[in-house]
Structure 1
Amino acid sequence: MFFFSFVFLSLVSIISSLDNGLGKTPQMGWNSWNHFGCRINETVIRETADALISTGLAKAGYTYVNVDDCWASARDSTTKFIQPDPSTFPSGMAALADYVHSRGLLFGLYSDAGYETCAGRPGSFGYEDIDAHVYAQWKVDYLKYDNCNSRPTNCTIKERYERMRDALNRTGRPIFYSACEWGEMLPALWFRSVANSWRTTGDIVDTWLLMLLNIDINNLFWSFAAPHGFNDPDMLEIGNGGMTYNEYRTHMSLWSIAKAPLLIGCDVRNISKESLELLTNPEVIAVNQDPLGLQGKKVRIDPYNGTEVWAGPLVDGSMAVVAFNRNNDMSQAVVVSFSDLGWKTTSQVKVRDLWARQDLGQFQCNYTALNIEPHGVQMLKMTLIASE
């Protein structure tokens, strides 16, 4: 029943998904905000595109290069076309997009459904068709659409996001549409026909507790994610220094099983070997990018010892599993009962450790992940061999 409940609930959602051909799996790439904030310029973006290639991140699937807030300055007084900041992007966004495309990557920009962006730059409300036209001319591939400075209008939040959706579609250029409404109006419940992904939470912060807060909130909406439309608990903080290696591995594991967008938020020009290893593990990424596109969720919580089991189905009939020790100060064993995965307790199951990239053997009834460190996980792929 576990597997079929996933399929049924998600097929209901697929019926009304945004039809722009994009987002069959969660988006992967890089975004400037978490590390740079407003300290961006065209040199940083070009060097980041180069670094995505040289580090192997692009080969691993991180193909979007997304410029967040602070790139725009004003509107042309005659055409009302939005203008890039001449001090930081003197070559213009079309030239920058061309450079990113020349590296075999995709180019993304940021705007806002209000009158101004969060940093006080021009927003798109009332200029949706003009801005969408300009973005298409610049060959933009991705739009992150924020929710700041939306003074009272005659439009609901949903209508403001629909206006940009329709404007993007009228351009004829496929542009991935990432709605950043912060989860305030529970967008997971009604955004499938509006955007390719939607924020379910407030902004992420590079701390253990706030990272967990975002993924716990995101988990509430697991049944609404499916191909072409995914829940977004915000960008990755791996490499920014606020958490330990062990905590960042948990961060990557939970985002991957939850089919969350994998958008790197650190300075990849100076990325550490450890962060690179976490971001490029092919078997962990494969869970996130599995074509079935169904979000994993918590299937067992033990409040007495602080352990959890997360699980979700994969297209080949196997299950992705995260055995998670939330405990702050003690290593724990985490038991994964096969009945929690929808299998009979007599089932024979093959288990593979995705971070270690090695098979662990065949097990019956359950699998016990031993000595999981505090704040740590074991991420697994479980394949049913026989069910008596």
Structure 2
Amino acid sequence: MAKITANHVRVSILTVILYAYVTVVAVTARVLPSHPYVNGQEKPIAKIYDTSKYGILQLGNGLATTPQMGWNSWNFFRCNIDENVIKETADALITTGLAKLGYNYVNLDDCWSEPDRNSEGKMVPDSKAFPSGVKALADYVHSKGLKLGIYSDAGLYTCQIRPGSLKHEYDDAALFASWGIDYLKYDNCFNMGIEPEERYPPMRDALNSTGRTIFYSLCEWGVHDPALWAGKIGNSWRTTDDIEDTWESMTTIADINNKWAAYAGPDPDMLEVGNGGMTYQEYRAHFSIWALMKAPLVIGCDVRNMTAETYEILTNEEVIAVNQDPLGVQGRKVDTYGPDGCYQIWAGPLTEQRTVVAFWNRCSKPATITANWGAIDSILLPVSPLKIYGSAQVDAHACEMYILTPVIARSAT
């Protein structure tokens, strides 16, 4: 008869991250070596997760060891912002519990300033929209335990024709620091044809010179492949043009950002979850893939008036934990098949020898998507001859996310 021996083997467990519950399914058993990413001490063993260019964002200000989380005004409000909207948003981040989950940046985008600098050459807040000034607004946001971000441009003007910071970097950085700013989104309009590699470093130096710790978000649109050079300049850098609130825009941007999985800090733009242009399943996929890619989770909807579905997506703690996993290695697309490659498997390594895997159905009909766990595992840990397949029923344009977690089990002989 069979008996339980004292020998131990590793068992990979699938922990499915659903938006209502968590289930566990055992899929395979084998001996695993040490995970190559634990503590970031060893180099990866396969190109699919090559992090040879990876570093914890080399700006040197101690920020962005995990992707930034917060809110930005642009996607929903565009130029229709004022100090009451910002204060109410800060309040809503607290009352909804979003702040406790890590959404702690409250970021002004374009249109916060007057169209011209003052007689002293300084930027001035729009007197109608921000009559109390940005310093008072920062004080209010800070009183809530949150951080305030602001927007400028590495050109003569911002995209909405407000003053840019080109050739004004030190003056503007000092002004932002005096106001208590914690985050700068730095855009790329009206750049005079000057290479971004020349325009973005001066603001880094200016921010560092203030003595205030300010998150530096480069919004270069991916024009000059900033992943190749921006790691020593900013805390994050945009890899794409602006996202739009459509399925086509979101999926296109995901594919472009996927190219830069070997680098730390790529930013495929803000979340559109809750703005009305996509379905629940599409928004759910959007949030899941952004989390897996270690993209910034910066909310772009009106958090004062969220639907229950929007709240459910944005507050999924398991998915947020994937995004904020301290290993910090970007997940990516590892397999595609089916009509036009619309059955997709995305995956990435996590701490504690875990792996996150997402089934993404980009077809217009529900489908059963199958992942070859042996193939995925062999990419990460190429020692197993087993060929184990797992399938999930996935709705059209939906995504189901899983975590592979090694556990100890006894083998039967």
Q: TM-score, normalised by structure 2?
A: 0.84
Note closer, same or farther for the CA distance 1:119–1:74 as it changes in structure 2 (3 Å cut). closer
2: CA distance, partners of 1:16 / 1:99: 29
1: CA distance, partners of 2:108 / 2:46: 34
Aligned position for 2:309 = 274
2: CA distance, partners of 1:6 / 1:127: 45
Matches within 5 A, 1:1-388: 4-5=44-45, 9-10=50-51, 12-14=53-55, 17-74=58-115, 76-152=117-193, 155-225=194-264, 230-304=265-339, 306-341=342-377, 342-343=380-381, 365-385=387-407
Note closer, same or farther for the CA distance 1:70–1:103 as it changes in structure 2 (3 Å cut). same
2: CA distance, partners of 1:242 / 1:198: 25
1: CA distance, partners of 2:209 / 2:367: 55
Aligned position for 1:360 = none
**Is contact 2:148-2:183 (8 Å) kept?**
yes
Identity %: 51
Aligned pair count? Answer: 366
Q: Deviations over 1:228-275 (max 9, x none)?
A: xx1100000000000010011100110000000000000000011111
Name the amino acid aligned to 2:406. Answer: L
Please state how far the C-alpha of 1:343 moved relative to its aligned partner: 4.1
Please state how far the C-alpha of 1:14 moved relative to its aligned partner: 1.6
2: CA distance, partners of 1:6 / 1:115: 44
SS of the aligned residue for 2:262 comes to helix
2: CA distance, partners of 1:43 / 1:59: 22
Name the amino acid aligned to 2:402. Answer: L
1: CA distance, partners of 2:90 / 2:210: 26
**Is contact 1:344-1:365 (8 Å) kept?**
no
**Is contact 2:56-2:65 (8 Å) kept?**
no
Q: Deviations over 1:116-151 (max 9, x none)?
A: 000000000111000000000001000000000112
Q: TM-score, normalised by structure 1?
A: 0.89
Residue range with higher mean Cα deviation, 286-295 or 297-306? 297-306
2: CA distance, partners of 1:23 / 1:10: 17
Please state how far the C-alpha of 1:5 moved relative to its aligned partner: 3.9
Note closer, same or farther for the CA distance 1:263–1:15 as it changes in structure 2 (3 Å cut). closer
Please state how far the C-alpha of 1:21 moved relative to its aligned partner: 0.8
Q: Deviations over 1:312-363 (max 9, x none)?
A: 111111001111111112322332423223346858xxxxxxxxxxxxxxxx
Note closer, same or farther for the CA distance 1:74–1:333 as it changes in structure 2 (3 Å cut). closer
**Is contact 2:57-2:236 (8 Å) kept?**
no
RCO greater where, 1 or 2, for CA within 8 Å and sep 6 or more?
Answer: 2
**Is contact 2:359-2:400 (8 Å) kept?**
yes
Q: Deviations over 1:71-126 (max 9, x none)?
A: 01155544212100001000000000000000010100000000000000000011
Aligned position for 1:361 = none
**Is contact 1:17-1:194 (8 Å) kept?**
yes
Q: CA RMSD in A?
A: 2.2
Please state how far the C-alpha of 1:202 moved relative to its aligned partner: 0.5
2: CA distance, partners of 1:316 / 1:30: 30
Note closer, same or farther for the CA distance 1:106–1:336 as it changes in structure 2 (3 Å cut). farther
Please state how far the C-alpha of 1:11 moved relative to its aligned partner: 5.0
**Is contact 2:57-2:235 (8 Å) kept?**
no
**Is contact 1:34-1:265 (8 Å) kept?**
yes
Please state how far the C-alpha of 1:376 moved relative to its aligned partner: 1.0
SS of the aligned residue for 1:82 comes to coil
Unpaired runs of at least 5, structure 1: 348-363
Note closer, same or farther for the CA distance 1:5–1:97 as it changes in structure 2 (3 Å cut). farther
2: CA distance, partners of 1:367 / 1:244: 30
Structure with higher Rg: it is 2
**Is contact 1:323-1:336 (8 Å) kept?**
no
Name the amino acid aligned to 1:157. Answer: P
SS of the aligned residue for 1:38 comes to coil
**Is contact 1:238-1:248 (8 Å) kept?**
yes
2: CA distance, partners of 1:111 / 1:80: 15
2: CA distance, partners of 1:383 / 1:333: 21
1: CA distance, partners of 2:328 / 2:104: 19
SS of the aligned residue for 1:256 comes to helix
1: CA distance, partners of 2:46 / 2:76: 35
